Structure 1
């Protein structure tokens, strides 16, 4: 396995998975297999370099991905952990190459899409655990993976065939790739965007569609449809084309629900994240306003376990505990075993007590 990076993150001890080349003449500067040392770093400094590919070894990922890798700390060593790691590395590479003027090899994406679908269909709780971890600094990357996981989960709830799940997974992973062409100062602005900035950010579906047409001309149009239309609304008030209702493809409507849910559940530069039950309530509102497909929202809420068993929570009355289950149709009001007394309480029958926070283990 390899991971793409830039010179700024290249460090001593890293091993090259591919030769380092110049970005102009594409001539080889360092051979594949070279273990980077201080002399190499000095030699490469100020040179115009192509993407650097390094071999994934112990410690390498944390140096390149930083916060992205923290999601894996909460998982035991298992197939799911390996699959998520593969998805994370592959999408990091795609997003890195996406910033450059070259075609993208989507064979690795085909492989991780298969793994993603397998993990979703085997373990729903693991999906919710994975998507509960966020990275502020690499929001677009982790958000894209989360949207793919959640969208495939919704497709699985709807009992869609494997062919459609594949389209949904691909579209979820790539839906925001157009943001690579949006200036970072707009994406990370610590406050509301002005009208000019909104115009720019609302171009990202078109940017993404155009990027994929350029970099992957043979990509299935159904994937591209998701990229272009994931911000459309069922009442026609979305963007970029203002299409509505049944004119929106089923995969685009599914990804739209996953996109909104994960965006609400993520901390951004301008607001704090919502708790899962708050995000679910917002989905209800968006469905009532005809922004999201009502049937998709109902299916998502019916199928999702927003507080998987074992989730540690803090309540508004100051108590802490672990989720042990919930009644069907009421995922927002789980049953909890209290930390201090081991008493079991059911929030469904305690309307004045809410979940205040999710406690992540350090």
Structure 2
């Protein structure tokens, strides 16, 4: 790998990587020459300002799973996942759930572990989603809701309620045929109309439980597909007609649905999703305050994650300029090269890598 050095920064022992020419294009020092103090002194007397030096490529070791996945986090996630799955089945089959299971999920230890800032973002991207796509999506939205509640400086009670609303966000899909939910092709208008009913189904299912008295949770589940410009469903509400829970959950739902593994589509780079979210903000579909806050804080939390690049390489996010909402990161590849994706537009992030993908 060639690296340019100012002449005054050269050191004896360096290996010249490209012929050094004089003013008449004559070779002064040939490629492969080992620099000496005498050669460096001679160069200082000439109008030559930089020399290309051959350097060994720095290979960045990709860490093993033990550095990417936190055992305590995974144990907590799996425990909550199984409890949530059991509650979904109970609600679908019997119209109720065990309140003690919900209390166990919302136990302070679980809440603190799962919604632990940057670690939470790293873990939910590093994990491979196994089991129910629906349950995993709702659990991820619940975790993101816990982060968002903290970023908004909401009261602890509001944070807890937002998490619960996120956990039950798509419970209404339990009443929709898997053939429709898992269909790989384009949905027919009739099928899409059925899918859109999941918000009302979810609201009705939660309405049969002790959560029915909690207006924030009920509105969050019902309104997470409403849009500020009135283009959403089920009631085409606009801006302030939509509850704060509905406006927040709309953002979290879109993000996880696009950035995570899905049955019918490849997951996207979070930074591609940010562009989509920001377009929806500018077009008046999503809440500006909540949307910008989410993108900025999640960008910060993505620092350090491993990514796959469109040129086939792998790298680690090392810097993101948080002064711009749609700023792209600087990535250090496994060869030690730093790529600023804001200026190198020919290379893009394909996706955040899971621990399994990194170790493969």
User: Corresponding residue for 2:328?
Assistant: 333
Deviation at 1:95, TM superposition (A): 1.3
Contact 1:186 1:193 (8 Å CA) reproduced: yes
Contact 1:124 1:305 (8 Å CA) reproduced: no
User: Corresponding residue for 2:3?
Assistant: none
Contact 1:128 1:306 (8 Å CA) reproduced: no
Worse-matched range after superposition: 167-176 or 258-267: 258-267
User: Corresponding residue for 1:170?
Assistant: 164
Deviations, residues 116-143 of structure 1 (Å, cap 9, x unaligned): 5423653323234314545476211000
Residue 157 and residue 217 in structure 1: after superposition, are their counterparts in 2 closer, same or farther (change >3 A)? closer
Within the alignment, does 1:142 sit opposite 2:136 as a pair? yes
User: Corresponding residue for 1:91?
Assistant: 84
Deviations, residues 37-80 of structure 1 (Å, cap 9, x unaligned): xxxxxxxxxxxxxxxxxxxxxxxxxxxxxxxxxx99952322x3
Select 1:212's aligned residue among 187, 206, 218: 206
Select 2:183's aligned residue among 189, 194, 200: 189
Contact 1:175 1:208 (8 Å CA) reproduced: yes
User: Corresponding residue for 1:241?
Assistant: 235
Deviation at 1:206, TM superposition (A): 1.0
Residue 296 and residue 132 in structure 1: after superposition, are their counterparts in 2 closer, same or farther (change >3 A)? farther
Structure 2 SS opposite 1:336: strand
Residue 354 and residue 124 in structure 1: after superposition, are their counterparts in 2 closer, same or farther (change >3 A)? same
Q: Distance in 1 between matches of 2:142 and 2:66?
A: 17
Deviation at 1:164, TM superposition (A): 1.0
Deviation at 1:264, TM superposition (A): 1.2
Deviations, residues 85-124 of structure 1 (Å, cap 9, x unaligned): 2221211111121221252122322332344542365332
Q: Distance in 1 between matches of 2:250 and 2:128?
A: 19
Residue 277 and residue 124 in structure 1: after superposition, are their counterparts in 2 closer, same or farther (change >3 A)? same
Residue 322 and residue 353 in structure 1: after superposition, are their counterparts in 2 closer, same or farther (change >3 A)? same
Q: Distance in 1 between matches of 2:132 and 2:103?
A: 23
Structure 2 SS opposite 1:99: helix
User: Corresponding residue for 2:99?
Assistant: 106
Worse-matched range after superposition: 223-232 or 126-135: 126-135
Residue 272 and residue 210 in structure 1: after superposition, are their counterparts in 2 closer, same or farther (change >3 A)? same
User: Corresponding residue for 1:254?
Assistant: 248
Q: Distance in 1 between matches of 2:299 and 2:137?
A: 19
Select 1:289's aligned residue among 283, 289, 298: 283
Q: Distance in 1 between matches of 2:190 and 2:130?
A: 24
Deviation at 1:296, TM superposition (A): 1.2
Structure 2 SS opposite 1:314: strand
Contact 2:141 2:253 (8 Å CA) reproduced: yes
Q: Distance in 2 between matches of 1:361 and 1:274?
A: 17
Give the length in aligned residue pairs.
290
Higher relative contact order (CA 8 A, sep 6+): 2
Structure 1 SS opposite 2:149: helix
Q: Distance in 1 between matches of 2:231 and 2:291?
A: 18
User: Corresponding residue for 1:346?
Assistant: 340
Q: Distance in 1 between matches of 2:303 and 2:140?
A: 20
Deviations, residues 307-331 of structure 1 (Å, cap 9, x unaligned): 7344222323343222233232357
Structure 1 SS opposite 2:342: helix
Contact 2:259 2:270 (8 Å CA) reproduced: yes
Over aligned residues, Cα RMSD in angstroms? 2.6
Select 1:279's aligned residue among 264, 273, 280: 273
Q: Distance in 2 between matches of 1:162 and 1:72?
A: 32
Q: Which runs of 5+ in 2 are unaligned?
A: 1-64
Q: TM-score, normalised by structure 1?
A: 0.73
Contact 2:268 2:350 (8 Å CA) reproduced: no
